[in-house]
Amino acid sequence: MAGPDGRLRCPWGVQPDDYRAYHDTEWGREVRGDDELFERLCLEAFQSGLSWLTILRRREGFRSAFARFRIEKVAAYTEEDAVRLLADPGIIRNRMKIDATLHNARVLAEWKKGELTELIWSHAPAAQGRPAPRGHDDIPATTAESTALAKDLKKRGVRFVGPTTAYALMQACGLVNDHLADCAYR
C-alpha cells in the first residue's frame, strides 16, 4: 500500500504514524547485541495477546521501567521491583510477563557476553530460496527455525517464548525479511 508520502509499504506499516515509523526504520533491520535482543525478546513476550501498537506506544515506559533492558541491571531487580512494575501504568502490568522478564534477565546474566546474540542468530534461515512474500498469506506465524529457537531458549531456561514469539523476534530483528515484495523497505 502507498503511504502518505507515496512510497509502497507493507499494509500494516502505513498507518498510524507509530506503525509507519517502526516499519520504516526498525522492523526487519538487523539487530545484534545481547541487551538489544533482550529488549526485543521482552517486548515480543509482552505483546503476546495484545496489539503491537500497544507495545510501541508504551516502549519508552518499558525502557524506563526495565533499566533500558540492560540485562545485568534487570537481573538485580527484587520482589520490591516486581511490585513497583505491577503498579507502573507506563507498561503492561501482567505478573506472569513481568516475572518472566526478571527471570530471563537472571538467566541471561549468567551467559557469556555475546552468547544470546550468537544463539539467536544461529537460527537465522538461509535467505536464498525463500521467495519474497507477495501478501499476508505468504508470511508464516512460525517456522522450523523459530520452533528450534524457542526450544533452544527454553532448554537454556528462558521463559515465555514460543515459536510464534520467536518468529516475531526473527522478523523484527532482521533474521528474516518479511517485508512484502513490493515494499520500498524490503
| Cis ω for the linkage preceding 16 (within 30 of 0) | yes
Judged against a pLDDT cut of 90, whether residue 1 lies above it is answered with no
- Has residue 90 got a pLDDT over 90? yes
Is 111 tagged catalytic? no
Q: pLDDT digits over 21-37, tens only?
A: 999 999 999 999 999 99
Q: Which position among 22, 27, 77, 167 bears the catalytic label? A: 22
Catalytic pick among 12, 26, 36, 52: 52
Judged on CB neighbours under 10 Å (0-12, 13-18, 19+), 6 is exposed
Q: Where are the domains of the chain?
A: 11-173
Whether 19 is catalytic is: no
Class of domain 11-173 as given by CATH: mainly alpha
> Quick check: helix, strand or coil at residue 146?
helix
Catalytic residue selected from 27, 39, 44, 77:
44
What single-letter amino acid sits at 176?
A: V
C-alpha cell at 28: 526487519
Instruction: Tell me what the mean pLDDT of segment 75-94 comes to.
Output: 98
pLDDT at 164 over 90: yes
Q: What's this model's pTM, rounded to 2 decimal places?
A: 0.95
To the query of whether residue 52 is one of the catalytic residues in this protein, the response is: yes
Tell me the C-alpha distance between 86 and 44, whole Å: 18
